[in-house]
Structure 1
Amino acid sequence: MSGQPEGPLDPAAQLSALDVPAARLAGVQHRARRRLAWFCTALALMIGAAHVIPSVFRPDESLPAFLTAMGVYVVAVLGLTWWYLRTRTATPLGGGRRYVIGLAATFVLYAASMALMGRETWPAAILVGLVIAAPLVIAGWWRRT
């Protein structure tokens, strides 16, 4: 005997047999959307912080402090990326495309903000950093249902 029931299952039993895998898949998709959203948020804030660091730790005033802050920044970005790649189980439907579009828009804003760098106070730099981060944060939390 193969362990299978002798006759065909009725349709209600077949549908109920599919409920467990469907619930498991829904859970995986929910966690993948949430994990991508938090990854995008953290990465976006770090990219915005890259604009703030030279305003807080001015390289012309203290090069060692600036280099230390940038070193911590690079390690944080690499750690975040490593965490996401190690814990990711799935990419939500359309998540990769939204991520790339949000990241591209964030980098365009970052490039445009280079004109302001060095001429702004650190509170203004924080506001500009948040504007820089906005497209990737929005892309990460945007859900197509």
Structure 2
Amino acid sequence: MSSEHELGPEEQLAALGKAQQGMDRASGYGARLLGSYCIALGLLIGGLAALLQIYRPDEKFAGFIVIMALFAAAVLAMSLAYGKLYRSLPRGYSKMYLRGFIASMVLYAVSVALIGAGPLDWPAMALIGVVVAAPLCATGIAMVRR
């Protein structure tokens, strides 16, 4: 015989409702946290994309290496954060994150390719930074607001 008593249907529903509230709270927290990380990563990668136009590999190779190392570290940190949080995200948020992340990575690759076009002026560098940061920042803002 068990020392635990059987729960009635009303008690089971109440326990299920309480568990669901806890899961909803955890998934909302996970979405806000990943959204904050997306915004931070978007701003960092956008800034690094703009700086690539200043620290060109043919002129300032050490600066170029530092920027690429910071980019790799930022992507690694974001991948680790996503690996920890993806189970607690609401439905559809993983796809939303991956779309924003891939879009920013493609735009970053385009900014690396623009190095061969020659030196750019400051407004063009700022535009590159904003365009590269936009997908991840928009994704992060959408995650934080929901």
Please report the TM-score for the alignment, with normalisation by the length of structure 1. Answer: 0.72
Q: Are positions 1:9 and 2:8 aligned together?
A: yes
Q: Hey, which of these two has a bigger chunk of helix by percent?
A: 2
**1:79-115 per-position Cα deviation (integer Å, ceiling 9, x unaligned):** 3322442455423210122123223433454455544
For 1:87 and 1:10, how far apart are their aligned partners in 2?
A: 33
- Alpha-carbon distance, 1:124 to partner: 3.7
Q: Are the counterparts in 2 of residues 102 and 136 from structure 1 also a CA contact under 8 Å?
A: yes
Residue 53 of structure 2 is matched in structure 1 by 55
Cα distance, 1:55–1:76 mapped onto 2, change above 3 Å: same
For 1:17 and 1:137, how far apart are their aligned partners in 2?
A: 38
For 1:31 and 1:125, how far apart are their aligned partners in 2?
A: 35
Residue 72 of structure 2 is matched in structure 1 by 74
For 2:81 and 2:129, how far apart are their aligned partners in 1?
A: 23
Which sections of structure 1, spanning at least 5 residues, go unmatched?
none
**1:119-140 per-position Cα deviation (integer Å, ceiling 9, x unaligned):** 3234541332122221222223
Q: Are the counterparts in 2 of residues 102 and 139 from structure 1 also a CA contact under 8 Å?
A: yes
Q: Are the counterparts in 2 of residues 55 and 120 from structure 1 also a CA contact under 8 Å?
A: yes
Equivalent in 18, 21, 44 of residue 20 of structure 1: 18
Please report the TM-score for the alignment, with normalisation by the length of structure 2. Answer: 0.72
Cα distance, 1:111–1:83 mapped onto 2, change above 3 Å: closer
Q: Are the counterparts in 2 of residues 45 and 133 from structure 1 also a CA contact under 8 Å?
A: yes
- Kindly provide the amino acid, as one letter, of the partner of residue 25 in structure 2: G
Identify the range of structure 1 (86-95 vs 28-37) with the bigger mean alpha-carbon deviation: 86-95
For 2:44 and 2:50, how far apart are their aligned partners in 1?
A: 10
Q: Are positions 1:31 and 2:33 aligned together?
A: no
Which sections of structure 2, spanning at least 5 residues, go unmatched?
none
Residue 140 of structure 1 is matched in structure 2 by 140
Identity %: 34
List aligned pairs for 1:44-123, cutoff 5 A.
44-86=42-84, 88-110=86-108, 113=111, 114-115=113-114, 118-122=118-122
- Kindly provide the amino acid, as one letter, of the partner of residue 70 in structure 1: M
Q: Work out which of the two has the higher radius of gyration on C-alpha atoms and give 1 or 2.
A: 1
- Alpha-carbon distance, 1:33 to partner: 0.8
| CA root-mean-square deviation | 3.1
Q: Are the counterparts in 1 of residues 50 and 126 from structure 2 also a CA contact under 8 Å?
A: yes
Aligned residues: 143
